[in-house]
Amino acid sequence: MNDDFNMSMRKFLKQVGVTSQQAIENAVREAGASEGKSFNVKAVIVIEELGLEHVVEGEIKG
């Protein structure tokens, strides 16, 4: 992998992380509940041209 590819991938993943955190925080705030609650979460990354579907599942504890 060349440097341009790595930088482009890191930029994309940073954008995913930042925008996802903002979206989750907004959803929790709008629901008015987070103290003592847990939320199941799933993230899916798809690159159709490569036939990639990567799924990450976890839990966010409030």
Flag whether pLDDT at 62 surpasses 80. Answer: no
- Whole-prediction pTM value? 0.83
Instruction: Say what the pLDDT of residue 42 is.
Output: 98
Q: Residue 15 and residue 29: Cα distance in Å, rounded?
A: 21
CB-CB contact of 14 with 20 (8 Å): no
Instruction: Say what the pLDDT of residue 1 is.
Output: 79
Task: For residue range 1-60, list pLDDT tens digits in order.
Answer: 799 999 999 999 999 999 999 999 999 999 887 678 899 999 999 999 999 999 999 999
- Which pair of tokens denotes residue 9? 């991938």
DSSP state of 2: -
Residue 15, SS3?
helix
